[in-house]
Amino acid sequence: MDVTDHTILSGFDALAPELVDLYRDLHTHPELSHAEHRTAGIVAERLTAAGYEVTAGIGGTGVVGVLRNGDGPVVLVRADMDALPVREDTGLDYASAATAVNGAGETVPVMHACGHDMHVTCLLGAADLLARGRGHWSGTLIALFQPGEEVGDGARRMIEDGLYTRIPAPSVVLGQHVMPGPVGSIFASPGTAMAAARSVQIRLFGRGGHGSMPDQCVDPVVMGAATVLRLQTLVSREVSPTNPAVVTVGSFQAGSKENVIPDEAVLKVNTRAFETHVAAQLAEGIERIANAEAEASRAPKPPEITELNSFPLTVNDTDATRRTLGVLRGLLGDDKVFEIGPVAGSEDVGDLATELGVPLAYWFLGGFDVVDGKPLPSNHSPQFAPVIRPTLDTGVAALVTAALEWLD
């Protein structure tokens, strides 16, 4: 089906070149979490021009546009804005060469390696078309542009900054995320959709010295290695096989010279689970194992365990999600829209719905040409770059169609 068949969507073709330019611009100028100042400025300007009541600076750099169009439901549609500290390796003529200073004071490369530039562009396009076509619906549309999704606290910051005292309370929260899937496809998980995730830093303390005198030292490298191996038993020996879980040690830093035993080692650990009690079990296990390995190694003091970030379990409302997928099938066809099981990625969009106890319908948008035998780049990969069109066409059409389903 031609996604421009719908009356409101018929304006997409005229708008598309402008949206393509916007997407390329956003991709070239990514910004780290809670530093999305340029992006937020563009969003606020475009929403204002489209006739929305705009509130900027919510939770730092969050932007919300409200379009009141008579009596009816209040529908919130969300896009995230932040990029990642990744060096782009796509070879595109609009590839990012940006760098930024992170929270640790380090200069890092920055890239939209998770498609948030596509999310922003799609929602701005949908917001524009729905504003132009307001004669075809009634209610209140909220276009919310969220900072800090990659660090898991952007939605919560907006809520704690009085989000729902500044805007009408929505009756449903909608959103989408571009993923490595066939371009033009949409897939979603009714019920549990994405994992709860938590990242911690474990600082292990030893007693440094010369590599020739290990008996005079407490080696934090050995302590850390034992901790890494033991952490793997949390999933293989402690969590029930019927409950999927992941424990990943993504960083192990210690020492700088081969014949010097260092004073400390630092591990960074990420966990994912699809049940809240399993997430709690993993958190307890990490602390127990780190402390036990430190004691077994005669560490001079217990380890320091610091939470780096956490993401809630993302749970789609089953009825709302299937209702939304139903209208998207009407738009795209049965062969383009389908249900899947939960994925191990994590999101904080659910906070926007659970805060008010309203349903969430969150779906994935395929953004890549599938070539037999060629793996698709995953989110957060230096090669992650969705095909601009028709990903943009499908993403805008999906948001417009889903919003119309929930508005009058």
Query: DSSP letters along 294-309, please?
Result: HHHTT-SSPPEEEEEE
DSSP labels for 241-280? TTS-EEEEEEEEEE-SSTTEE-SEEEEEEEEEESSHHHHH
Mean pLDDT of the chain: 96
Give the helix/strand (H/E) hosting 19: helix 12-28
Examine the pLDDT at 119 and tell me if it is beyond 80: yes
In tens, the pLDDT along 151-185 reads 999 999 999 999 999 999 999 999 999 999 999 99
pLDDT of residue 5: 53
In tens, the pLDDT along 92-110 reads 999 999 999 998 899 999 9
pTM of structure:
0.92
Question: Does the fold of domain 196-311 match that of domain 8-193+313-406?
Answer: no
In tens, the pLDDT along 192-219 reads 999 999 999 999 999 999 999 999 999 9
Find the length of the chain: 408
Domains in the chain: boundaries:
8-193+313-406, 196-311
Answer yes or no: are the C-beta atoms of 157 and 351 closer than 8 Å.
Answer: no
In this structure, what are the phi and psi dihedrals at residue 94, rounded to the nearest 5 degrees? Answer: -115, 20
pLDDT of residue 1: 41
Examine the pLDDT at 230 and tell me if it is beyond 60: yes
pLDDT of residue 6: 67
Give the helix/strand (H/E) hosting 337: strand 337-339
In this structure, what are the phi and psi dihedrals at residue 367, rounded to the nearest 5 degrees? Answer: -135, 20
Task: Give the rounded percent of residues in the chain with a pLDDT score beyond 70.
Answer: 99
The domain over range 8-193+313-406 is classified in CATH as 3.40.50.11030:
no
The DSSP symbol for 197 reads E
Task: Give the rounded percent of residues in the chain with a pLDDT score beyond 90.
Answer: 95
230/244 Cα distance (integer angstroms) = 18
**102-124: average pLDDT:** 96
Question: How many degrees, rounded to 5, is the angle at CA 382 between CA 377 and CA 385?
Answer: 60
pLDDT of residue 370: 85
CATH code at 196-311 = 3.30.70.360
**280-307: average pLDDT:** 97
239/233 Cα distance (integer angstroms) = 9
> Per-residue confidence at 373, pLDDT binned at 50, 70, 90?
confident
Percent of residues in the chain assigned helix, strand, coil, to nearest 5: 35, 30, 35
Examine the pLDDT at 276 and tell me if it is beyond 70: yes
Residues 324, 351, 32, 194: is their CA dihedral positive or negative? negative
